[in-house]
Amino acid sequence: MGQGYVGLPLAVAAVQAGHHVIGFEPDPQRFEQLRADVSYIKNVHGKALSAALKSGRYMPTRDESRLTKFDIAIIAVPTPLKNRQPDLNAVRQATERLARHVHKGTTVILESTVRPGTTRKIVLPILEALSRLRGGTGFHLGFCPERIAPGNEQWTFANTPKVVSGLTEECRDRVAEFYSSITQNVVLADSLEEAELAKAFENAYRHVNVALVNELSRVAHTLGADVWHTLALADSKPFGFTKFTPGPGVGGHCVPVDPVYLGHARTQHRESFRLVELAQDINRAQSAYVVSRLQDTLNTRHGKALDGARILVLGLAHKAAFDESCQSPAVEVVAELERRGAVVHAVDPHVAETVQAPQTLLPYKAYDAVVLLAAHNESDLAQIADEAVYVLDTHGAMPEAPHIERL
């Protein structure tokens, strides 16, 4: 259920392992692309999708009546926030669609990231009510969080350990058996809730540490210290320290969203998850901080106002080598620059919906400032360093030089 960043690689991996897969995708455009053998997910190479379609074991569909006679169903639908609250509509709808076709012995697995407690309190009752079977005896239920890191070549779908959990031990065994057929390493959780909590915590951990290092970059700047040098020194400690790096904020489908589930799980019990809330405040404010740094330098070193300045923004994706600007802090930076009167050209070779058409771009030296927001491998950093008048590098990717300011 859902052929997106999570569902499509999973479907293709399952086909490669010999399973027969129905890929349910309600979005008409995505569905047509799948039918036309066009992969819209960077992690799924065109050849892999073609091979899946040619095998005759992969059938993309948006027709609910095709959802019959399955042994295993996996829900990989979006779980966004709506007014800063978890929106589980897609999970509910996908579960209802499946529930009508659940039969004795079926296994249903939730992969979407959810608030701890969701599999037992929301998915299970829908399945039981509509299938008229009991979870654990009539059908099996599990929660298996996805850890896919699009663009990461070292940690792939196959070699990233997969946490598996089940409503009962037998449920978990069924779920583990399936994932063992498509991944190299499964990690058993004792309960659905522990697996849900672990997933939310993994992303909260990243969120909090990025906020910590973003705050460090502000303090370092005030003290006249280079945050990248400071981090390299701290990172020489061989134990008890994991290096995170500053940037323009956090983005993507997960890191800005999932910690809210953790916070929400606690607010339900009238407590707050203070560290997570603080991290959210700090990371949200980071895009305005980046713009303020740029504004200050333009003003004090170049005698220019940001209002009316020509700014080139390089990189709109929320991280290097990634192709989506979903919840990207770069988009916030562009909006803030424009709000303060700058004339912005923004480009990203990876993101289809770049704000400006390439033909409108000027030579690097014609801009009052170039801001590097995503350091894709193929960005021509040497040429930018040679030609630009002033660069604000938010990733510490550029060489050190008087006209290059690193965050």
Ligand X SMILES: NC(=O)c1ccc[n+]([C@@H]2O[C@H](COP(=O)([O-])OP(=O)(O)OC[C@H]3O[C@@H](n4cnc5c(N)ncnc54)[C@H](O)[C@@H]3O)[C@@H](O)[C@H]2O)c1
Binding site for ligand X (CB under 6 A): 1-7, 24-27, 30, 76-79, 90, 93-94, 111-113, 146, 148, 150, 253-254
Cβ nearer to ligand X, comparing 318 with 376: 318
Whether residue 171 lies in the annotated active site: no
CB atoms < 10 A from the CB of 102, how many? 24
Closest residue to ligand X: CB criterion? 4
The nearest distance, CB 37 to ligand X, in angstroms, is 17
| Catalytic-role residue among 144, 171, 254, 326 | 254
Cβ nearer to ligand X, comparing 152 with 230: 152
The nearest distance, CB 25 to ligand X, in angstroms, is 5
Cβ nearer to ligand X, comparing 324 with 336: 324
The nearest distance, CB 209 to ligand X, in angstroms, is 18
The nearest distance, CB 263 to ligand X, in angstroms, is 15
Cβ nearer to ligand X, comparing 251 with 396: 251
Residues known to be catalytic: 254
